[in-house]
Amino acid sequence: MNLRHRKLTISGLQWALGLVVLLQSGHFVLSPVAAHQFAETGLPPWVRVLLGGSEVLAAVLFLTPAAIFIGGYWLLLIFLFGAAMHLLHGKFDLGSLIVYGAAVMVCMAHQSKSQDGGAA
């Protein structure tokens, strides 16, 4: 795979992931259905807004080239927190969070490599 193609595929992954997380987080914060489902966890409603709002902000930062590392690490922390919450509530379907986390790490590693001057 040539360098230009590799850069385009990683940028595509970054944008696909960032937009998916942004849309899902927005739905999590704004949807009455999501609010009802979250209420079943027993946590206060402000936790949903704080978690979803943080995820929206982290996704926007992740899509910003100058802030990809801040947004990426923030997303990884949120995914880890989300995974812990799922496990504590007996929900073991963590596949999407694991894939999202791996994609964030790939995008950050590629960005780090290209900033170091190495071949991307």
pLDDT in tens, 22-67: 999 999 999 999 999 999 888 899 999 999 999 999 999 999 989 9
Hunting for tokens 């596949």 — which residue is that?
A: 95
Residue with structure tokens 């190495």? 118
- 118 confidence band (pLDDT: 50, 70, 90): low
Question: Cβ distance 114 to 120 under 8 Å?
Answer: yes
Give the percent of the chain with pLDDT over 70. 95
Helix axes 45-63 and 3-30, enclosed angle (nearest 10): 160
pTM equals: 0.87
**What local confidence, expressed as pLDDT, does residue 120 receive?**
45
Separation between Cα atoms, residue 106 and residue 6, nearest integer Å: 12
Please tell me the predicted confidence (pLDDT) of residue 108: 95
Q: What is the mean pLDDT of residues 3-20?
A: 92
Amino acid identity of residue 83, one-letter, is A
Quick one: pLDDT at residue 7? 84
Both tokens of 10, joined, read 């990683």
What is the residue type of 29? V
